[in-house]
Amino acid sequence: METQALGFVLETSPRRQARFDHREETLQRPSNAQALSLMETWESLKSRGGMIVGRHFPSRKFAGLLPNILLLEKLERVRDFRVRLAGFGMLCFYGFDPSGRRLGEFYQGEKHEARWSSLNAVLRGRPHIKLSRLSQSGETVLQREIVALPVLASDALTPLVLVASFWSRRWLN
């Protein structure tokens, strides 16, 4: 029996498809206009204590991003991050709701280590921008720019990582 969420068949989500070749490359700067706007807003808030979830994000300006975000917190006793919040677009991409789960539950070995290192660097103030492509037989079937930014929880003390996906070629199932 297929599991569905608002008409999406979760078993056929891109993250569950072994037939796709996944490639990522680091970018110096995003090309998506909304990604650039998010980065500019984040930059402008750095001198005022940083971007605070609930105060600066989400806002009307970025409401359209909510389905495509992950909000992650670093775990202290283990080398991992937990997904505190995941938008519906991320549920469709992963094929399950990643909210409340650790990255180690869906990435192992070198892939987990690379993501942990990248997110840890983001927490130290270095935004991370990458281009992610899923291809099949040499044809790109899914492409997105991913922007990871250090933000603060609503208490303005707890550091988090905001990860937003900007799709230029979207998968549909």
pLDDT in tens, 123-158: 999 999 999 998 888 888 889 999 999 999 999 999
Report the alpha-carbon distance of residue 165 to residue 35 in Å, rounded: 8
Report the alpha-carbon distance of residue 59 to residue 95 in Å, rounded: 27
Q: What 8-state DSSP symbol labels residue 112? A: H
Secondary structure E strands in 16-169: 21-26, 69-75, 80-86, 128-136, 139-152, 159-169
Report the alpha-carbon distance of residue 71 to residue 173 in Å, rounded: 25
- Predicted TM-score (pTM) of the model is 0.89
Q: Which of 11-25, 55-69, 83-97, 106-120 has the lowest mean pLDDT?
A: 11-25
pLDDT tens track for 83-112: 999 998 888 888 888 999 999 998 899 999
Q: What 8-state DSSP symbol labels residue 88? A: H
